[in-house]
Structures are given as structure tokens and as C-alpha cells.
Amino acid sequence: MLHLILAALLLAQSAKDVASGPLREDSDATTEDWITRVLNYMESNPETLEELMTEDYAVTEGDIMLSSDRNAVDSVWPSTRIPFTISPESESRTWSILSAMAMVSRHTCVSFHRRTSETNYLTFVMSKGCASFVGCIGGEQPVFVGPQCTRGNIVHEILHALGFDHEHTRSDRDQYVTVLHRNIMEGKERNFQKAKGQTFGLEYNAASIMHYGGEFFSDNGLPTIVSKEEVMNMGQRKKMTDSDVQRVRLLYSCVASGPLREDSDATTEDWITRVLNYMESNPETLEELMTEDYAVTEGDIMLSSDRNAVDSVWPSTRIPFTISPESESRTWGILSAMAMVSRHTCVSFHRRTSETNYLTFVMSKGCASFVGCIGGEQPVFVGPQCTRGNIVHEILHALGFDHEHTRSDRDQYVTVLHRNIMEGKERNFQKAKGQTFGLEYNAASIMHYGGEFFSDNGLPTIVSKEEVMNMGQRKKMTDSDVQRVRLLYSCGTL
């Protein structure tokens, strides 16, 4: 039966899904053009704010000339174990900061740990943009993390702090890219000046997380940097390239120089490992962790604030979908998740042809979805760790279902232990209004959180009052999960 469904779904796939690109970044026609352009620019290029805010900082802290010092400083940290603190007002960014540090430490011998009494350390502080000194400057060293700075932006700043300049300022860059000085904002030409620096004999890497994007500091929307060879990801802030990893290893004399290790680094502080393990074993909790980044990258969508507000049932039980090219490797996971939903209900899924409202499965860091039909192209986020069960969970969100543990009557069945919940994540445990169809509370629902979701300390965040074997399970839809889909979509008896 399952095979038949999958075969049918595959047959329905006639053409490639052309219209499955990223969300819109188009400007608002009603707003003054230039204001919109500035806003879009700031939101899509938060790092360029490192310069825009530099002046302010130099003023606020008159003894530090951030801009003039930056390229002069070239100090390697005295140890590969870097102490850090996070300032109180940046605590809400803790997870992005930790996961940025984890990205660096995972593949290199550089590790990060909370400062106790060390003299030289990084302090992550709130700011308008993302910014950093280059190299170890001694003492308390700020790394600026504005609201728009994504995990990748923070990695970029940490690499500055470790001693790395921008890749496009390499002295041999003219062999690889053309800098179009006529398009550069007045006063920002120096950001494109070549700098002396150790290249370790590594090839120029236009896809480096330390390379500017093609339109950074453009005055007119035209390119400021063009690569001579075709480069897919110039200016990307998603991940460290092999070359980025190699240069950290070489600068800090890490022993391993082979391919990227996927295992966590034993030399890394325990708590970083715990974070990584946590993220990998609870991919769904990344729906929240990635929200901030997503809201930034695609500034027109406030995922977190929209999620619980939307409550629309799809107009038909036949739901069109597309799978974005970069998610094609997850096709079987996605199809079998849809099969689990359609098998027991009257809701079915088919490849989109020209329908207005449809789901698009897109690549992401975690698993995430809007709640209900939001209209138009509606993304469902499927990260590498999302299992079939996680995808079913997200599809049920998309069909209109909230988390079971947010039912208004939940306190009769479970106890929420607020003291163990991560700071800033309390709202994931807030009760929500919603139709329960008179069905019993179901702690084993595929829509219920597990006992330690968003735990700050490893202790439970939700405890069931009755014994429940499978709270937080993501294996299958329970009878109750099936019933509520049938009721919401008026399936009748099957």
C-alpha cells in the first residue's frame, strides 16, 4: 500500500519544481524607494553594519579606534582554549552564539569555554550590527552581535577575532575577483583595500565565510565585487568552507588536517558538546533556535510571532506540494511522512502544478512549519536531522494543529516545570486556544513535546501526571492524532 502511494506521488512529478525558490525579498512599493532599499540592505547584509556602526563605537568608546586598528592587529590568541562571556543584554542570543562557536570548534582544535578569571577573553555584546576586532587585542575583547546577526555572521566575527581578515582583501585577489570601485559607497573604499596577511598557500576561496558578497557596500545596487570564475556562494554566511577550516587549523597549529570531522571534538568543553548533542537529538527544538536567523534572512516573515496566530484550515483536502532542489535528498523522508498522514485520513498530497496555495519543503537547520494554511507558497523546513516522524509533526502543524501540550486543559494531565525551561523559551509552553474536538488529552501524541524539550539544565520541563510511555515520540500518529485530522478536515468515517 505504501509503495503504491509513493509510486503515485512520484508519477505525479512530471516536471522539476521551478517555482520553489526562496522567499521574496522584493521591496515595498508604497514606501519611499530609498528607505526601503536601505532597510532591505541592512536586513540582508547585517555584517556591513560593522562599518556603519564603527564610527559610533569609536565615539562611544573614544579610546578605541576600531576601524584604524583592525587591519593592523594580527595577534594569534596565546591558547586554543578561548574564554568568553556573554553580556546580560545578549543572553537572548546565547544559542546562536554557542552554535557559532560550536561550528568553529567542531572542525578545529580551537575551543571555547566560559571565562572564570582569564585576562584575555571575548565578550559578546549587543550592538546594531555584527562586528569584531581582528586577532587578540588583549584584555576584555568585545564581539558585537546585533539582532540581525545570524549564526553564520557570528562565525564570521569569531574568525575575525581569531585573527582572520576578509578573504577578498588578500594581496593576490585581483587574479580571482574584480573590484568595481565605481559602485562602492563613498567612504567605504578602504573595506576593499588589499591587506598583507598569511595565506598559508591556500587557494583563494571566493565562497569563504570571510568573503564579501557581490553587492556589499554597493552605492547603487550594482556589484562591488565580481568573481572571474563562476562561484555559487560568494558572500555566503551558512558554513565554514574546507578552506576556512584549514586556515584555522594552520594558524592554530591543530594537528588534524584531514577532511572535516563530523564527530564532536573531545577537546571541546563539556557544555558545548552538550549543546551539540542536544541540538542533534532534538532537531525539532531547532524550530525555535532557527527562528531568529530565519526572521533575519527573510526579513519579511516573522515566523515566531506568526506561528500561533494563524489558524487556517486548507480549503481542500488535496494539498499540493513541491520539494526544493536542495531538499531532494530528503524526498523519501518527506514522501513517507505525507504517506503516514494520508494513509489514515482523507487528506492527500500531490505535486503542485499551478495551484496558488501549496507547501514547499525546503532545507533548513531544523524542522519547522507555520501553523495552518498561510496562503501562497508555504515553506516547511526540513533540516538534515529531521526524521520521518519530525516531518509528520511539521505537516500536522501546516494542516492547522498546535502542540498538544499547549491545550488549555493540559494542567489536568501534565505539569510544566517552568524553572527548568531555557530563558526566552517559556512561550513554547504557553497554553493556546484551539479546537480539541472533545478528544481526550493525548500525551503520546506526535504533537506533544518530550519531557526535556527546551530544558536548560537537563531536568524535565514537562511531567505527565499519569504514566505515559511515549511522551514526545516521533514515530507514528496515535489514534487520537488520526481522529483530529479526520475531524478538522471532515473526512467522515474511513
Which residues are the active-site residues?
A: 157, 394
Q: Parallel, antiparallel, or unpaired for β 318-323 and 358-363?
A: parallel
User: Residue 432 and residue 439: Cα distance in Å, rounded?
Assistant: 16
Q: Are 223 and 183 contacting, i.e. CB atoms less than 8 angstroms apart?
A: yes
Joined grid coordinates for residue 181: 570601485
**SS3 call for 400:** coil
Q: Which amino acid is at 482?
A: V
User: Cα–Cα distances in Å, from 308 out to 251, 282, 370?
Assistant: 47, 21, 8
Joined grid coordinates for residue 275: 549543546
User: Residue 216 and residue 24: Cα distance in Å, rounded?
Assistant: 19
Residues whose CB is less than 8 angstroms from the CB of residue 345 and which lie 6 or more positions away in sequence, other chains included:
482, 485, 486, 489, 491, 494
β strands within 241-347, DSSP E: 318-323
Residue (of 188, 184, 237) closest to 210 by Cα position: 237
Helix boundaries (H) for 18-143: 33-44, 49-52, 54-60, 66-70, 94-107
Beta-ladder partners of 321 = 351, 359
Q: Are 472 and 451 contacting, i.e. CB atoms less than 8 angstroms apart?
A: yes
Phi-psi sector, 67: left (phi>0), alpha (psi -120 to 50), beta: alpha
User: Residue 405 and residue 388: Cα distance in Å, rounded?
Assistant: 21
Residues whose CB is less than 8 angstroms from the CB of residue 260 and which lie 6 or more positions away in sequence, other chains included:
107, 242, 245
**SS3 call for 289:** helix
Cell 553580556 belongs to which residue? 87
Binding-site sequence positions: 156, 160, 166, 393, 397, 403
Residues whose CB is less than 8 angstroms from the CB of residue 479 and which lie 6 or more positions away in sequence, other chains included:
none
**SS3 call for 382:** strand
Q: Are 382 and 394 contacting, i.e. CB atoms less than 8 angstroms apart?
A: yes
**SS3 call for 486:** helix
User: Residue 484 and residue 295: Cα distance in Å, rounded?
Assistant: 31
**SS3 call for 169:** helix
Count Cβ atoms below 10 Å from residue 75 Cβ, excluding itself. 13
Count Cβ atoms below 10 Å from residue 10 Cβ, excluding itself. 12
